[in-house]
Structure 1
């Protein structure tokens, strides 16, 4: 039996909650996240009014202020977002018990067998979105398809406050026409590499043998091979265990000095701290990922005495790990920070992690899903 999967994604969730609860913010560009004073403030969510100016999540607050001088910065209220997220989850549960939250503001639902016997996944998605609007005065977007990957792509196609259905008969053509930039885990660098190999759409990827894709893209090649054919057999997992939270960034120009790298680490640490608060977890193991200009990649990890969600502690540990990796005569194109070993776990201490020739964004995608 083909699955009926819905991906629900709240629209600018944190910002929308703030605009709902504070009338003075409605219709104005707001950013929920770090204030631009000092160093390292990062936007957690921007309202759609701010997005018109180019403000985006994970953007440094100072950059957001440059793009939109009239932007209003709002201190996050994660306890409220958690409460609202619980209300949204309760709405989901009226239709199915197979709910896999990805964060406070998005989740997968398997409605192959729905509680209310509606049968149509399109109608269920519409009903859920209408209920969220009526009961919570918030909007959500939805993607409906036969697997997680397609549902997640579909939910982003008509944002905000829309939904998209990719039916079984449409899957093959949809994936063949999908630009490689739309594949999850394909950023600017990987897209450029694909273009150099003559890969511009899913149809181009389908022409390649799996072994060739693996040779060029490592473990991610397996993913590209299958998803270009619309194949994603992962089930919705209600009891999915969160294993790690991470953030990374590829730089327009290679970094060569520690003083250039510390502000980038600070921005990453802010993003990871937001995600820890969002998921209400603390972690003991801090991992720094380093990718060099020649695409060689290493990780360095340290396990702390006690679990933390403190951005300053995460930044300090990450900086020490980076400095100890050896920065003489290096050119670094990407840095990342990951937190794992959540409350009660064990982990390695000051040990190098294995090189991963696959896409780290793809790894994060699977960790989150």
Structure 2
């Protein structure tokens, strides 16, 4: 009998061990997925019909993190076939930069209400809420909803059975547009820039379908269209949400403007915003919001690389301002050829790869 109980106990221990190992393995798998994808990626809507349908319209709440993430997920899924030559699992898709940035903003608290008036975006309140008072969230709207509506207008999703309607925020409703027709009437040039990117993708598929022609897809051309749309969104949104910077600490507000300015320089190199490249460079960005008392490049809980990136972005922005934008124009001219862009990308890669930080660099700047 004791032998029976002994064997039974061993079986129970084995089962418990197996279960714990299975749970641990699943947690490791989830952690790996969380590390690769933006937070809550798996639970974001992956089909347009996964969003609510009301009154013959697909209704999307762009002020909910999961639903805005779903907009990106639909864009990536529908454009995946154009990037099959650049790796498996759609990792080579150059639209990854947008949802990964959105995920970084969510993870670091940059989508929450910075004024503290509401609990929107805060762990103690509505965590998935995106605050219209967040400068980052408002800027991101023009890098999420406008590309998405441009894709709808271009026909990336084919013939849709319903119209698309974006829900407005509770405040500042006039600062945004909410449908293809609405955005087309209010910001036609910006819509054109994003529509052109998706029309380019669609045109390469049509040519590939011809028995006498191969696909005309070129990554550099796709990057050119995508970055034009990206810069147009920032150029339109920056002056519109200047007042929202007042809710941020001075160091965070300065970083936001430095980052937006730096994107213009990155864009000129046709930097490939695929998943791997974006993840690598995004790790160098601050993993929390900057607060009063943070002095670049001497922020103690930031790595030397993160401090160096913040310093470089600040110096780039200030120098461009002092030259009246001449620095950016000269850089864009230097990046006007494929050879020049290759050199430009190498410079950014070298900057990111350098683990050393010389405090004399700060003094020199």
TM-score above 0.5: no
Structure with the larger helix share: 2
Question: Normalized against structure 2, the TM-score is what?
Answer: 0.29
Structure with the larger strand share: 1
